[in-house]
């Protein structure tokens, strides 16, 4: 009854129609009963009744159609997808840059898509994916283009070489991190980028200097299992990846999260090994002014981005850079490894 009343409210009947409709129901009921008793009488009264029955069906059809339609409209079904073009509101906005002016990694698309999906599936961020650096500015670009003021973190996915940034853009990018306290996450070749921009190296923690073992089963140590981005890794593990040797890098200026086990590396006949301390960091975090910075060399291969461990690491790293979680930023001494510990 409640639904019928709602239906009438939505499609209100003109006042002369309602009694006709009610009469029609009565006449139709009467004729149906009469036929059951084999009544064959015909009169003016019968013709009037038949006309009213016809009118009854004529007016009933749209009402019944509307009623049926109303029955088919659920109030709210949360399992249904939203209507097309409905804007999804996410907590944060990140700008993902994949510009390459040097080596081109096949894994850039995999990395960018993974970072997009990690935000989309969690509902924590939306990601703008670009292979140019136009949006790295605080200038108003017009055309509905977003600039750094819109974003909460910047992610460089295997960028290489000297990016197309002019002095104004470089100033805005550093101000975005240092003064605005926004996040920066560098993936793999982000360390092989902007050699002619000293502040970039200072911000990220150093630069690339060869990958002495190319892509191999890297023996990795977890130096801070309390940090959100590496909490899921065991104390020692193997990952098939390309590990960079950092230069102009010091563990005194960063908080090392992952590093290679120096006792398990082969140094023989390897002219690409330049670090005499054999301190090869795999992931670290640091502050740059008010902004949080995370870097890891993991993510060289396309397959790495299907690895739940690597996806989890960057997911948690971006969350941390966005200020959603907490972790240490204090530099610490190199762990003392005994020969049989691993
Ligand atoms: Zn690589």
- What are the distances in angstroms from CA 267 to CA 21, 249, 263, 276? 96, 20, 10, 10
CA distance 157 to 99: 8
Share of the chain above pLDDT 90, in %: 65
- Tokens describing residue 8: 């009438």
- Could you report the per-residue pLDDT of 282-291, keeping only the tens digit for each? 999 999 999 9
CA distance 40 to 50: 14
- Tokens describing residue 277: 């301390």
**Listed residues: CB within 5 A of ion ligand 1:** 242, 300
Per-residue pLDDT for 10 more than 50? no
CA distance 240 to 128: 29
Per-residue pLDDT for 42 more than 70? no
* CA 241 – ligand 1 centroid, Å: 8
Residue, of 24 and 211, whose pLDDT is higher = 211
* CA 90 – ligand 1 centroid, Å: 32
* pTM, 2 dp: 0.74
Spatial contact of 229 and 299, defined as CB atoms under 8 Å apart: no
Per-residue pLDDT for 167 more than 90? yes
* CA 188 – ligand 1 centroid, Å: 7
* CA 259 – ligand 1 centroid, Å: 17
Per-residue pLDDT for 69 more than 80? no
* CA 246 – ligand 1 centroid, Å: 13
The answer to whether the Cα torsion of 280, 312, 109, 101 is positive or negative is: negative
Mean predicted confidence (pLDDT) in 183-195: 97
> Rounded to a whole number, what is the largest CA-CA distance in the chain?
116
Q: Which residues pair with 52 in a beta bridge?
A: none
- Could you report the per-residue pLDDT of 217-259, keeping only the tens digit for each? 999 999 999 999 999 999 999 999 999 999 999 999 999 999 9
Enumerate the CATH 3.40.50.880 domain ranges in the chain, comma separated: 92-321
* CA 51 – ligand 1 centroid, Å: 85
CA distance 183 to 152: 7
Average pLDDT, the chain: 84
* CA 209 – ligand 1 centroid, Å: 12
Mean predicted confidence (pLDDT) in 270-290: 93
Per-residue pLDDT for 339 more than 60? no
* CA 109 – ligand 1 centroid, Å: 14
SS (H, E, C) the chain: CHHHHHHHHHCCCCCCHHHHHHHHHHHHHHHHHHHHCCCCCCCHHHHHHHHHHHHHHHHHHHHHHHHHHHHCCCCCCCCCCCCCCCCCCCCEEEEEECCECCCCCCCHHHHHHHHHHHHHHHCCEEEEEECCCCCCCCCCCCCCCCCCCCCCEEEEECCEECCCCCHHHHHHHHHHHHCCCCEEEEEHHHHCECCCCHHHHHHHCCEECCCCCCEEEEEEEECCCCCCCCCCCCCEEEEEEECCCEECCCCCCCEEEEEECHHHCCCCCCCCCCCCCCCCEEEEEEEECCEEEEEECCCCCCHHHHCHHHHHHHHHHHHHHCCCCCCCCCCCCCCCCCCCCC
CA distance 320 to 227: 9
CA distance 283 to 241: 13
- Could you report the per-residue pLDDT of 140-161, keeping only the tens digit for each? 999 999 999 999 999 999 999 9
Closest CA to 280 of 220, 239, 229: 220
Of 50-54, 79-83, 264-268, the least confident: 50-54
Mean predicted confidence (pLDDT) in 265-279: 88
Of 28-32, 185-189, 314-318, the least confident: 28-32
Per-residue pLDDT for 80 more than 50? yes
* CA 321 – ligand 1 centroid, Å: 23
Model pLDDT, residue 46 = 67
Per-residue pLDDT for 75 more than 50? yes
* CA 299 – ligand 1 centroid, Å: 8
* CA 105 – ligand 1 centroid, Å: 6
Mean predicted confidence (pLDDT) in 109-121: 97
Model pLDDT, residue 8 = 40
CA distance 256 to 260: 11
pLDDT confidence tier of residue 340, bands split at 50, 70 and 90: very low
Q: Which residue has the tokens 């002016």?
A: 101
Closest CA to 291 of 315, 319, 314, 322: 322
CA distance 13 to 67: 13
Mean predicted confidence (pLDDT) in 294-301: 98
Class of domain 92-321: alpha beta
- Tokens describing residue 83: 């209507």
């Amino acid at each position: 009854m409640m639904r019928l009343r709602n239906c009438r409210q939505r499609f209100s009947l003109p006042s002369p129609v309602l009694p006709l409709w009610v009469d029609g129901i009565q006449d139709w009921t009467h004729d149906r009963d009469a036929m059951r008793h084999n009544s064959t009488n015909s009169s003016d009264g019968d013709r009037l009744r038949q006309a009213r029955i016809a009118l009854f069906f004529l007016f009933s059809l749209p009402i019944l159609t509307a009623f049926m339609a109303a029955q088919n409209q659920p109030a709210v079904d949360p399992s249904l997808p939203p209507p097309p073009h409905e804007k999804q509101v996410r907590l944060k906005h990140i700008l993902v840059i994949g510009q390459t002016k040097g080596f081109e990694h096949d894994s850039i698309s995999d990395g960018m898509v993974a970072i997009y999906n990690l935000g989309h599936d969690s509902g924590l961020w939306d990601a703008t994916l670009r292979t140019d650096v136009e949006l790295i500015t605080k200038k108003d670009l017009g055309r509905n283009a977003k600039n750094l003021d819109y974003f909460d973190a910047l992610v460089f996915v295997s960028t290489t070489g000297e990016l197309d940034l002019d002095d104004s853009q470089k100033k805005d990018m550093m101000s975005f991190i240092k003064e605005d306290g926004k996040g920066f996450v560098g993936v793999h070749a982000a360390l092989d980028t902007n050699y002619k921009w000293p502040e970039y190296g200072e911000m990220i923690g150093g630069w690339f200097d060869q990958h002495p073992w190319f892509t191999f089963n890297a023996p990795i140590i977890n130096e801070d299992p309390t940090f959100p981005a590496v909490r899921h890794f065991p104390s020692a593990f193997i990952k098939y990846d390309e590990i960079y040797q950092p230069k102009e890098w010091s563990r005194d200026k960063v908080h090392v999260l992952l590093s290679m086990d120096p006792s398990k590396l082969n140094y023989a006949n390897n002219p690409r090994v330049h670090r005499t301390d054999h301190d090869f960091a795999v992931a670290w975090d640091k502050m740059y002014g008010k902004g949080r910075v995370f870097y890891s060399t993991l993510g060289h291969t396309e397959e790495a981005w299907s690895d739940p461990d690597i996806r989890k690491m960057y997911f948690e790293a971006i969350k941390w850079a966005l200020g959603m979680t907490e972790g240490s930023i204090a530099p610490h001494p190199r762990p003392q490894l005994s020969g049989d510990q691993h």
